[in-house]
Amino acid sequence: MADSTSRPIKRALVSVYHKDGIEVLAQAFVKAGTSVVSTGSTAKKLEELGVNVTPVEKVTGFPESLDGRVKTLDPHIHAGILADMTNPEHARQLKELGIEPFDLVVVNLYPFADTVRSGANEADTIEKIDIGGPSMVRGAAKNSATVAVITDKNDYALAAERVSNGEGFTLAERRYLAAKAFAHTAAYDATIIEWAKNVWKKPASLEPATDDADAQTPNTDELFPPTYTRTWDKSNVLRYGENSHQQAALYLDPLTHSDFAHAQLLHGKPMSYNNYVDADSAWRSAWDFAPKIAVAVVKHSNPCGLAIGETVAEAHRKAHACDPMSAYGGVIAANATVTLEMAQAVKHIFTEVIVAPDYEPEALELLETKKNLRILKVPTRPVLDQSIRQIDGGLLVQTTDRIDAEGDDPKNWKLVSGEAADEATLRDLEFAWRAIRSVKSNAILIAHDEATVGVGMGQVNRVDSSKLAVERANTLADGANRTKGAVAASDAFFPFADGLQILVDAGVKAIVQPGGSIRDEEVIEAAKAAGVTLYLTGTRHFFH
């Protein structure tokens, strides 16, 4: 396999925090008689494995210092890494300096993300910001003309083979390993950036001074920095994507460990791409109602049932009753521990995924009898502060839509038609307004007794959404009219009175909507003519 660009590995530099799998390299070094330079605990481990190691301080002539902050930051190390031995002038200078070149650099870095996830304090976290390691990795990657760099323990066996057979790596292979190493250090730095952004906020002393209060604009640099630098670690490749001809994988935030993406699969087949999308949507929907107990039933990222209950079983019963047909093959999310009573109801419904903070032992045992049900446990509520959407050539980044705007508080709603809602009606209106956040636009939602009874979603005009919500509410097998005396919410303003009129004609008694249309008066007059209660929020919840 050797070609003219292959370079035998005669001298290696090894400095790894995680020692897993290093045995295979050690065996190869011993067999090939490779000269090995190493640091601290790595050197000790290699010596235990029979490798004749040269301590790095013997090469540098300088002891490890500053609690280990300085070990390899020395010209005797970095010149040996960075000398391009295909360049005669580099080779000459190295010989004059009495420095030997390295052919292989094996490094993995301090566990910064692990330290953050452990809840370590700021000082301990800072100590796990690696300096020497990334410097060696980047130096070796830059000098891939003559140096091979290994940062992934999964490549140890490959490196061991090339050490043992005396061939080393070809230039193309070294370039590939270099690109992989640059990705490794870039991800490492991105993790540090994300931590620092959240911990080291911009102090007021660095804000620009101005005497004109009206001229001040919010500083968005912390929310939207000049460069958007984030990293996620690959967890696993999924069977396929949204459709069977698409490929997909799950990536995880390295700084967290208890959010939805890190859900514990207690039972069932591995999650699919669509399972993750729907379950995440349901999970967020259920938590929109906290601290009240709520359950969401979701299909294709749209709720086909949302409800609040005194118990989780009651919330599920009410949510499922909204649209039992659509609930078939759906996803269920609860923001409270799933009880045996709820599990007994779920057992008879074909469900793809159920997700909750926890499960009663008897409930889990019962649900586990459903072979194809994926059971997820997520101990923490959603905390995502930004949503990201990729477009061709760029990203759209926005703060997460939550029920926290001024217009989301019923105390700030403006009554523009009919009598003020009584306590029960206002509860239903507030429920409907919170629930509408989860529904794809254009969205109309009809509710009663703090539960959805009809949902119209994803239509290109509000009239069709209104018709769909009414139709869904009144097509149950028992023929019940569930719109009469119910309330409704619209995620954005009614551009004409026709959409509202459909709800009024169906018997809806109270409606909440943002307002803001140039035809608001026309809509308000239609509500007045029908004698229905109409509130304007001044806030909308589009969801595209």
> Phi-psi category of 355—alpha, beta or left, where left has phi over 0 and alpha has psi -120 to 50?
beta
Are the C-beta atoms of 430 and 408 separated by less than 8 Å? Answer: no
CA distance 285 to 435: 7
Helices first, then strands: H and E counts in the chain:
19, 21
Q: Is 168 exposed, middle or buried (0-12, 13-18, 19+ CB in 10 A)?
A: buried
With residues binned 3-state (H G I as helix, E B as strand, rest as coil), the percentages for the chain, rounded to 5, are: 40, 20, 40
DSSP 259: S
Distance from C-alpha of 172 to C-alpha of 437, rounded to nearest angstrom: 52
Q: What is the DSSP string of 261-301?
A: GG-EEEESSPPPHHHHHHHHHHHHHHHTTTTS-EEEEEETT
Listed in sequence order, the DSSP H helices in 388-530 are 423-436, 462-473, 497-505, 520-530
Q: Which of 43, 1, 9, 55 is nearest to 29 (CA)?
A: 9
Structure tokens at 104: 């292989």
Retrieve residue 363's tokens. Answer: 């409930």
Supply 245's token pair.
């001809």
The C-alpha atoms of residue 150 and residue 157 are separated, in whole angstroms, by 11
Q: What is the DSSP letter of 405?
A: S
Residues with catalytic annotation?
142, 300
- Characterize 57-68 residue by residue with b for buried, 16 or more Cβ atoms within 10 angstroms of its Cβ, and e for exposed: bebbeeebeeee
Q: Is 410 left (phi over 0), alpha (psi -120 to 50) or beta?
A: alpha
State how far the Cα of 236 lies from the Cα of 240, in Å rounded to an integer: 11
